[in-house]
Structure 1
Amino acid sequence: MFSCLSPGALGLPLDHTAAIDLALAHGFGGVDPDPEHFRTLLADGGLEAVSAHGAALRAKGLQWGMAGLPIALDASAEEFRAALGSLPDALGLLTAAGVTAVGTWIRPMHRTLDHAANWRLHAGRLSLVSEILADHGLRLGLEYIGPKTIWSTERHPFVHDITDARALIAETGASNIGLILDSYHWYTAGETPEDLTGLAASDIVSVDINDARPDRARDEQMDLDRRLPYDTGVIDLDGFMGAIRTAGYTGPVKVEPFMKSLAEQPVDEVLADISSRLDRAITGA
C-alpha cells in the first residue's frame, strides 16, 4: 500500500504541480491525477507531453492514485450516451500519463426506480463502461455509500453495503471492476472486519480512511460530517486496515474527511498530520 495525497478529498486548493511537490516533501507515496492539468499539457505538447509528465512523476518515486470516472452511472439516457461517446478520448489521456484506475460511487437510492430496475440499469451500464476501460488497460473502482441518512431519503433504497456491491460487480462479469473501500461507509453500513474476509488484492481498487463523530449513533451519521482517522476511535480502523493488509492490497490509501477547517490551516501542518495518520494505517504501527 502507499499513502496518496488527494488535495480534492482534503478540500485543499492546490494546483497539480504544488500537490506533487508537497507529496514529496511530506513523504506521501503517490498523488491523485489531475485530468485538467493533463489537458493543458495535451494542448501545449500533445500526448507526448502527457506521457513525459507521468514518467517524471514515477522518476520522483511517486505513483498515481485514482482518477474520477468521467461518466455518471445514474445519468439520463441522453447524457449517458453522450458521455459514453467521449469516454475513449478522456481515457486515452489518462493512460498516456500512466494512470491505471478510475473510480465512481453508486447512488444508494432512487426516487422512481425500484431495486430490480435500478440493478438492471447499473449492471448494463457497468458492463459497457468496463469494456471501454479494459480497452485502455484501466480498472474501475466502485464505492458503496453506507449512511442511512442518505439511502433512506428516497422511495427506493439501492446498493449501500459490501455484499450488494460485490454482487453487482459479479453480475457484470467484468474482471477489471473492484471496490473502493471507505472506512466510513464500511462503519455506517454496520460492517465488521469479518465482512472483508476473503477479499483478494484484485477485489480492491482504492481505500479511504476516516473516523466518525462520537456523539451520533451509527444510523445518525452524516456523510459529509466526518472526522480525521484515529481522532475519535468510533471506527475500528485497526480492524479495517488489518483485513485490507491480509487481502494483500498494494494500492493507494487516502483520507477524505470533508472538513472545511483543513483549508483554513497551514498546508504544511495539515499534510504532515495526514501523512502521519496514513503511515500509521498502512503499517499498523
Structure 2
Amino acid sequence: MSELWSNLSCGALGLKVEFDEAVELAAEFGFAAVEADLGYLAGLPQDQLATAGKRLGERGLRWGPAGLPVDLTADAARFASQLAELPGKVAILQAAGVDRTGTWIRPMHNELTYRRNFARYTERIALVDEILRGGNLRFGLEYVGPKTFWSTELYPFVHTLRETRELIAATGSKNVGIVLDTYHWYTSAETPDDLRSLRADEVVAVDVNDAHADRERDEQMDLDRCLPGTTGTIDVAGFLGALRDIGYDGPVKVEPFSKELKGLPAREVVEKTAASLKAVL
C-alpha cells in the first residue's frame, strides 16, 4: 500500500507562527512533514540552509511542498521580474532539501478568452518549469472547482481535472503535475475513477477538506470549507482510496478556510487538524 504522509501547513490553517513553533507543533501532533516556508529559508545564511532540513529530520519530519514564488496571472513586467528572481529562490529551496512546489490556476478571467488564457498559461508554466526542473523541484498545479468562484467573471477557465491534464500536456513537460484537493474534486463532480485514470507520478501533492452539508454542490464557497471527514459531504475515503490504488506516496495537507478555527490558539487549531487528518488517513 502506498504511503500518504501528513503535511502541516500553518499558513493553510490561517496561522502565523514561527518556523520553530511549526516544527514543534508538527512533531507533537504526529505530522510527518512541515510545509517549506521560502520566506523563512531566504532569511537564513547560506551555510544554514541544509541545517534547517537536518533539524526536521532530527524530529522525524521532512519538508512538505513550498509555494511557488511566481504569480502566473501577473502583468508582463511583474511576471518577468519574478521569473528573473526564480533561479535564486530555487537554489535556496534546493539547498534546504525541498523537492516540490506548487500554485493554483485562477479559473476565470474578465478579458482573456479560454483559448488566449490557455496559451498564456502554457507559455508561462513552461518558462517557470524550465527553472524548477533545473533545480530538481517538481511543479504542481491546483485547479479550483467551485462554480461560485469560476462563474464570477466573463470567461471561465480551467477548473476540472481533465482540463488541468490538458493544460499540463500542452507544456510538454513531465515535471509538471497536479495538486489535488478533495474540495475541488467534489465541486467539479468528479469520481474516484477519475483519479484512477492518473499515474502516481502525475500527482505532486494532495489537500483534503470537507464541504458544508447544508449547501448543494454548486453552492459551495471556495473560502468556506470544513475539516476533512467532519460532515461526510465529500467522499474522502473514496478519494484517498483511489490515490492509494494508483500508488501515490506523497504529502497530504488540510486547507479548510474554516470559520470555526478562526481566532483559536495555534496549538488548538493544529490539534483539531491533526485529529481530523488522522481519522481520514
1:209-238 alpha-carbon deviations (Å, 9 max, x no partner): 111111111111110111111111111111
- The amino acid that maps onto 1:21 is E
- After TM superposition, the runs of 4+ consecutive aligned structure 1 residues lying more than 4 A away are none
1:30 match? 33
- The answer on 1:9 being equivalent to 2:8 is no
1:160 corresponds in structure 2 to 159
SS at match of 1:41: coil
State the alpha-carbon separation in 2 of the partners of residues 122 and 239 from structure 1. Answer: 31
Aligned partners of 1:273 and 1:251: how far apart in 2? 22
Aligned partners of 2:237 and 2:58: how far apart in 1?
32
Counterpart residue type for residue 105 of structure 1? W
Residue 213 of structure 2 contacts residue 233 of structure 2 at CA under 8 Å; is this kept in 1?
A: yes
Please tell me whether the aligned partners of residues 33 and 62 of structure 2 are also in contact (alpha carbons under 8 angstroms).
yes
Mapping for residues 109-120 of structure 1, pairs under 5 Å: 109-120=108-119
> Displacement of 1:263 after TM fit?
4.1
Q: Is the 8 A contact 2:108 2:154 kept in 1?
A: yes
1:272 Cα deviation from its structure 2 partner: 2.5
Q: Quick one: percent identity of the two aligned structures?
A: 50
Q: Which moved more, 1:225-234 or 1:262-271?
A: 262-271
The reply to whether residue 75 of structure 1 matches residue 62 of structure 2 is no
For 2:255, the equivalent position in structure 1 comes to: 256
1:246-285 matched pairs, under 5 angstroms: 246-282=245-281
Structure 2 counterpart of 1:21? 24
- SS of 1:253's partner is strand
Deviation string 1:153-205 (CA, Å, 9 cap, x unpaired) is 11111000000001111111111111100000000011111111122221111
2:194 corresponds to: 195
| Aligned residue type for 1:142 | L
Aligned to 2:57: 58
CA deviation vs aligned residue, 1:43-64 (integer Å, no higher than 9, x gap): xxxx211111112212322111
Helix, strand or coil at the partner of 2:77 = helix
Q: Which whole-Å CA distance do the structure 2 matches of 1:176 and 1:62 have between them? A: 25
What SS is found at the alignment partner of 2:205?
Answer: strand
Indicate the residue corresponding to 2:143 in structure 1.
Answer: 144
CA RMSD of aligned residues (A): 1.2
Q: Secondary structure at the match of 1:165?
A: helix
CA distance in 1: counterparts of 2:195 and 2:162, whole angstroms: 10
**What SS does structure 1 have at the residue aligned with 2:149?**
helix
How many residue pairs were aligned?
Answer: 278
Following superposition, the deviation at residue 261 of structure 1 comes to 3.4
| Counterpart amino acid of residue 63 in structure 2 | W
- TM-score relative to the length of structure 1: 0.94
| 1:21-59, Cα deviation, whole Å (9 max, x unpaired) | 1101111001001112112212xxxx2111111122123
SS at match of 1:61: coil
Partners of 2:23 and 2:34 within 8 A in 1 = yes
The residue aligned with 1:125 is 124
Residue equivalent to 1:169: 168
Which residues of structure 1 form unaligned runs of 5+?
Answer: none
Secondary structure of 1:261's partner?
coil
The TM-score with structure 2 as length reference comes to 0.96
* AA matched with 1:87: L
Query: 2:47 maps to what in 1?
Result: 48
Indicate yes or no: 2:42 matched with 1:39: yes
CA distance in 2 between partners of 1:95 and 1:87 (Å): 12
Separation in 2, partners of 1:263, 1:17: 22
Unmatched 5+ residue regions in structure 2?
none
Distance 1:212 1:276, change over 3 A: same
8 Å CA contact 2:229, 2:280 repeated in 1: no
Letter aligned with residue 21 of structure 2 = A
What is the CA-CA distance between 1:260 and the residue it aligns to?
A: 4.0
